[in-house]
Structure 1
Amino acid sequence: MSGTLGLDLGLLVLRVAAGGFLLPHALGKLFGWFGGPGLAGFAEELRGFRLPAPAPLPLLLATVQVMCGLAVLLGWQTRVAAIIAALFLASTAVLALPKGWFWMRGGIEYPLFWTLALCAIALAGPGALALQT
């Protein structure tokens, strides 16, 4: 396998993983799919973190997350979508900071991992196996 093909395949795997993990979480917030909270539950989650959640803010945030997850997955407007998604995940990590490191205790480990993966995608770009390079 040539270096370029290996890099493009690696970026495809990273994009599919990052977008593929982000998308169902976002769809759960937007539509309640996959056992997610739906918009009302998402608004409650935001308020639980003492964040504002007036309508249409939860709808806007969930829609942006869906669009970013899909864009990263497909490799369309990848750098911008990955940066925006990384900001969402970094916010989640900051909110989880009081609970420590381990995600099994509600800590920052999992959202920080995905923040860094999305930052890598933003820096590297989508690769050749994308809708838009």
Structure 2
Amino acid sequence: MPTTATTTPYAAFLLRVSLGLMFLAHGALLKLMTFGIPGTMGFFGSLGYPPIFGVVVIVAEIAAGIALIAGVWVRLVSILALPIMIGALIQHSGNGWLFSATRGGWEFPAFWIAALLVQAGLGAGAFAVDTNKLLGRTPATARA
């Protein structure tokens, strides 16, 4: 029977890639390719945010998706993505719980927040890019 020590890296990997694919789907496919930059900026403007926030969110979601899938700086990326999801939670909080409600409820952003916190706690897991090698560090000189 597998132990937690042997399965945890693979569970973290599965969560990491799932979150990464979801960020890519929302940033690249939905916001960039479906709504476009002008549409996304217009939407953020209609919510009372500076329209440029739409571009910032597109870039952040695509970058987070790529980093999570690759397994690069996973703890940091998971924490840095939280403000996006907290903003989505705030935006959807008045629409009810279910995300299928008109204008979307808050269940999906709340789940993303929980999943990002879990990912930050677990770390990258299996099959992650070795960021020490990217930075030219050896394990003895690497910082925790």
Fold shared by both chains (TM-score > 0.5): yes
Counterpart residue number, 2:73: 77
Residue identity in the other structure for 2:10: L
Partner of 1:12: 13
SS at match of 1:103: coil
Work out whether residues 77 and 132 of structure 1, in 8 Å CA contact, stay in contact via their aligned partners in 2: no
**Per-residue deviation at 1:63?**
1.1
Change in 2 beyond 3 A, CA 1:38/1:28: farther
Please point out which of 107, 110, 113 is paired with 2:108.
110
Cα separation, 2, equivalents of 1:15 and 1:61: 19
**Residue 113 of structure 1, CA deviation:** 0.4
Q: Which segment drifts farther, 81-90 or 23-32?
A: 23-32
2:23 matched to which residue of 1? 22
Give the 5 Å matches for 1:30-69.
31-32=32-33, 36-54=34-52, 57-69=53-65
Alignment-derived partner of residue 90 in structure 1? 86
Q: Which deviates more from structure 2 when the two are superposed, residues 5-14 or residues 23-32?
A: 23-32
Is the 8 Å Cα contact of residues 32 and 40 (structure 2) preserved in structure 1?
no
SS of 1:104's partner is: coil
Unaligned runs of 5+ in 2: 132-144
For 1:69-124, what per-residue CA distance to the aligned partner results, in whole angstroms no more than 9, with x for missing partners?
A: 11112210111111122221111011101111110111100111011101111122
Higher helix share: 1
User: Equivalent of 1:100, from 96, 99, 104?
Assistant: 96
How many residue pairs get aligned? The number is: 128
Counterpart CA distance in 2 for 1:73 and 1:87 is 20
Q: 1:62, CA displacement in angstroms?
A: 1.2
After TM superposition, the score normalised by the length of structure 1 is 0.86
Structure 1 residue ranges without an equivalent (≥5): none
For 1:47 and 1:28, the matched residues in 2 are separated by 20
Give the whole-Å Cα distance in 2 for the aligned partners of 1:4 and 1:129: 16
For the residues of structure 2 that align with 1:113 and 1:3, how far apart are their CA atoms? 23
